[in-house]
Copies of this chain bind each other. A is one copy, B any other.
């Protein structure tokens, strides 16, 4: 019997090539033009689960994209681990900023990834991290090291709000029954600084439309006399933050859980180099809510960001027009205990209320999810901590992430089980950006660490 390290060494090239093949499929859930690829991706994931050792697999149809289910039950009296991941990816644009095509994966060496990193949309978020679990299962099954039961639930709508998953989870509580949920869709502090994400932000994503005149107007003939939807939209967006960069929506902060002095001190201890942070993304200065540090701003404080804006003439050259409409996509990151339905409602009514006469405003809620905080004093967390210690030789640091995995809160509510967020990506992996990548070492380290989690969790659950 060999340990995971040796098995990974022997199969390294195959593990990489299999992931590269998955990354060639443009499974962009946000753009219906790619629906065929998203469906093809689902089938590919199902066969991967079969080959890895799932004795039961299924492509579960939903109103949206299907959920791929896999299971291997060795003894009902043993604990069950439920692995969640997603096979859909973010749109790759702006395409011109990619140094290699987003769906033609290549391995390149970088200062942060001397062992090389796989460049492709979805390399880290989440195909690479999801596939670590598939390969970890393969190792455990092939070597008789699977100590408990395992279930997989891999969805195809995470990047667009997981709408179908919500229904699926509510309707299949029996099928999904488990003792712990394992997700790798977050990051770690640094290649040699393992960490476990203990908190996630919630999300409310809306689209707004400001309509002025019933048609585009000549800015010379009408300029100055008619409300220009773009100027108005800019005014309305600007008014959503005050001089201290606090969000001005009435009631927005009412339920925000403020950190204790101790918690803030603990956070301040996490290794963080502001200069390096600024240099890595090429900014001269950070920017945010007065009275909070950068690490607090991007993890335990709520935000409001415009993710996209468009209106009027955006082509080459000049057009002197007052457009009929202007649009923006706006997302708010929420913290415990803000409720995303409530925040979406607060935003909508406030945004409508600040529209001046002369324009009409439409707010379309897109999707959202609740934030989440994991305890660090139960078997699931302890097992993960020990697994990292085994493979990294260091105790992982618990950290709050600014990202959102909306369904984590749903899992706890519907399935009554906790989630462990074992992330192996780095902030610098450029997920959601051009040139997304995932370190080869991180990928293999994940495959190596996961089986130990199964082992320790089963032992600790006895």
A interface list, Cβ under 8 A from B: 29-32, 90-91, 93-94, 97, 159-161, 187, 201, 203, 205, 212-228, 230-231, 233-235, 237-239, 241, 281-289, 294-295, 297-298, 301-323, 326-329, 331, 333, 356-359, 366-367, 401-404, 427, 430-435
Contacts and interface: CB of A to CB of B under 8 A. Distances in A.
Contacts of A433: 215-218, 321
A203 B320 contact: yes
B432 A358 contact: no
Contacts of A326: 309
Going nearest first, the 7 A-B pairs with the smallest beta carbon separation are A214-B282, A30-B317, A220-B403, A224-B303, A238-B238, A227-B287, A308-B312
A307 B219 contact: yes
Contacts of A289: 224
Contacts of A219: 303, 305, 307, 331, 333, 432
B214 A281 contact: yes
Given A160-B318, A283-B358, A434 B305 contact: no
10 contacts: A30-B318, A90-B321, A97-B215, A97-B216, A213-B283, A221-B403, A222-B402, A225-B297, A235-B238, A307-B318
A2 B220 CA distance: 40
Given A222-B298, A315-B91, A401-B221, A231 B160 contact: no
B294 A321 contact: no
Contacts of A217: 281, 432-433
A141 B158 CA distance: 73
Given A212-B283, A224-B303, A91 B308 contact: no
A318 B281 contact: no
B224 A434 contact: no
A203 to B, nearest CB: 7
A214 B215 CA distance: 37
Nearest to A227: B287
Contact of A233 (B205, B234, B239, B307): B234
A288 B230 contact: no
Contacts of A30: 315-319
B298 A224 contact: yes
Given A220-B404, A224-B289, A225-B298, A435 B215 contact: yes
Contacts of A221: 187, 298, 401-403, 427, 431
B318 A367 contact: yes
Nearest to A241: B231
A187 B222 CA distance: 13
Given A402-B224, A403-B220, A309 B307 contact: no
